[in-house]
Amino acid sequence: MKAYKKLVEKYERIHHLSHMQSIVYWDQQSMMPSGSSNARAKAMAEFGMIIHEASVDKEISILINDAMAENLNPLEKASLYEMEKTYSNNTILPSTLVKAQSLAHSKCNHIWSEQRENNNWKDFEPSLKEVVKLSKEESLIRSEKSGLSAYDSLLNLFEPGMKSETLDGIFADVKTWLPELIENIVEKQKSQSFKKPQGIFEIQAQKDLGIKIMNHLGFDFNKGRIDISAHPFCGGVPEDVRLTTRYDEKDFLQSLMGTIHETGHACYEQGLPQDLLALPVGQARSMGIHESQSLFFEMQMGRSKEFLKSIHPYIIESFGKKEELELDNLMKIYSKVQPSLIRVDADEVTYASHVILRYEIEKALINGQIETSDIPDMWNNKMQEALALDTKGNYKDGCMQDVHWSEGLFGYFPSYTLGAMNAAQQFNTVKKVYANINDSIEKGDLTQIKSWLKENIWENASIYSTDELMKRATGETLNPKYFKAHLENRYLS
């Protein structure tokens, strides 16, 4: 197995380089002074090239071919398959395009963070146009090699095996029942009143509360930390996870759930098999599975009556005993369904509408049906159609609210709703396996949940395909009916 062992050594080196790249990115988002952006963009582009060159080393191709003739066990065969797929994805693009993309993404990201605050689409759009141009170049190259459509060739980088034809069917079905469901829930909740927490919730108190909840959820602070950024994310590597969130002194509720969400991502990373971390097979299966873990934590469990009851003492300890912080009032707030402009602040019922809107726009953009200049009007039209909300002239809360397109992450957005569907299906299985799971959550005992996730999702990493992973974990491949049933049970029962 000389060839396979040499491959392992090469991918371990790439993993170490990627570790440093991820920390530099985290620093850019959370710590870097704004005046350093140009120099950082050039440095990240250069570092990106070093990783790219290591990833496209021609010797890897030779070693992969040699390893195929070796006597490998099933895990090593799965590992070799992921190596081959990763190598193919990396080598298909010319180094000049990779460098141009790295520079364009870094610059666009910085311009986005400045111009979003200024609601300035005019000065942001040229940098986005360049990112889209380069993404379309990438999509055409990948499309020619894979035989997939331009958009599907990018979608597969985040959701291996998924096609827009399948997504179109899933989302078309959601659009047949979701509007009526939203309408029914909003009507039902008209008779429910709650008091919005008032006052100043000090940032330090919010940080301390978040850390308590992260500990409660099992995050290992010896191998990670949490900081502040404009857009919450989970980065780093499994051995060094970096979370970020954002705080509002007038509202701790969104930050709390945002922290729980990112902790779901982080626990997945920390739960990946330790002996495979440096290899492609040891990484998260797909972004849809990754999002299923964050939404399992935040939505399936985090907004449940049982979980809120278990963390309620922490909230009172942080902000004092107030009428608006009573458990019943918090439960009403966290189950409130109300169409809103901001995706990351949306309730779990209307959230799918936000995702479908972005999916339809980015698919049309990459497939050449629209230009970047068409985005604001198309966004507004779809927002009005889906949630009866107007974003005309409001770019900050409309088409400029997300960082994803600035970073060239086309094909990523569907993962959010696929994640919600996967999470609902997984939690449905957990409830079948552990009949007393709600009682355990209420008591603050997450042992059963963590055990099931670790055994069925985390430790399997990318050993199996997404379909096989879900089938092994839940008994069937993705079935959106569990997502619909979850929403109906939680909000209409």
Catalytic site positions: 262
CB contact set of 94 (below 8 Å; sequence gap of 6+): none
In one-letter notation, the amino acid at residue 85 is K
- H or E element: which one contains 477? none
b/e for 251-279, b at 16 or more Cβ within 10 A?
ebbbbbbbbbbbbbbbbbbbbbbeebbbb
Measured between alpha carbons, how far is 6 from 11 in angstroms, rounded to an integer?
A: 9
Dihedral sign computed on CA atoms, order 369, 374, 375, 380: negative
Q: Please report the DSSP string for 136-161 in residue order.
A: HHHHHHHHHHH---HHHHHHHHHSTT
Output Rg (C-alpha) for the chain, integer angstroms: 22
The alpha carbon of 287 is separated from its chain's Cα centroid by a whole number of angstroms, namely 6
- 361 phi, psi to nearest 5 deg: -70, -50
Instruction: Identify the three-state secondary structure at position 270.
Output: helix
- DSSP class of 248: B
* CA distance between the termini of the chain: 58
* Cα dist from 251 to 28, 68, 137, 155, 246, whole Å: 26, 56, 43, 35, 11
- 215 phi, psi to nearest 5 deg: -65, -40
Measured between alpha carbons, how far is 403 from 28 in angstroms, rounded to an integer?
A: 13
Q: Please report the DSSP string for 236-292 in residue order.
A: EETTEEEEEE--BTTB-HHHHHHHHHHHHHHHHHHHS-GGGTTSGGGS-S-HHHHHH
* Cα dist from 200 to 158, 229, 319, whole Å: 40, 20, 9
- DSSP class of 223: G
What residue ranges in 195-239 does DSSP mark as E strands? 224-228, 234-237
In one-letter notation, the amino acid at residue 368 is G
- H or E element: which one contains 243? strand 240-245
